[in-house]
Amino acid sequence: MKKLWMMLMLAASCCLPAQAALSPGDAAPEFKTRAALDGKAFDYSLREALQKGPVVVYFYPSAYTNGCNVQAHTFAESLGDFAAAGTSVVGVSLDDIGRLESFSADPQYCAGKLPVASDGNGDIARAYGLEVREAAPGKKDTRGADILHGRAERTSFLIDTDGKIVATIGGLSPVDNVAKALEQARALATTKKPKKK
């Protein structure tokens, strides 16, 4: 009986994910890294961004790939709506800063509006409980260039000014991910409005 129990436990553990994304209520890991906006590199600090309001940190697999291009474009086009909800947005991927400088300025994608940050070794993504896959040999981006870096899973986190995660958004298409993040940002803004007497 004990042997059967051990076999069942082992089988069940094989079916569980190796890690799970951080959940609402969890503390968002602080990070500082190089980022790019409109082709220019700068130092990004989550702590500093949170001093100005809530932040959507969205992880995506790679710049210049189909879904990520669509997601970056959709976030860039929606930044006014996020700002109206008092929320800023930053993309994070395992791309190096050179690729992100180009991606951040590309008028079809980030359009000089959306900051994107480099997580070259995947440590930031792992700190958020995300799966990071190794680089796949022979993979090319939409420009025909080799993708030489690993990839984090597509997941967004809405983080409040107290550093706590308000929403974890994963398992959606790139466009739906943005729409859900905006919905959550608006809901958070509503809860922060002073109540009328």
Angle at Cα 165 formed by Cα 119 and Cα 188, nearest 5°? 120
In angstroms, the CA 137 to CA 156 distance is: 27
Catalytic residue among 14, 15, 68, 110: 68
E-strand stretches of 46-178: 55-59, 88-93, 116-118, 132-133, 151-152, 155-159, 165-170
Identify residue 27 by its one-letter amino acid code.
A
Q: Is 14 a catalytic residue?
A: no
Choose among 89, 67, 69: nearest CA to 80: 89
Q: Is residue 61 within 8 Å of 154, Cβ to Cβ? A: yes
Q: Which residue has the tokens 């930031």?
A: 124
Choose among 135, 95, 32: nearest CA to 103: 95
In angstroms, the CA 112 to CA 101 distance is: 10
Tokens at 40, concatenated: 């220019």
In angstroms, the CA 142 to CA 195 distance is: 49
The set of catalytic residues is 68
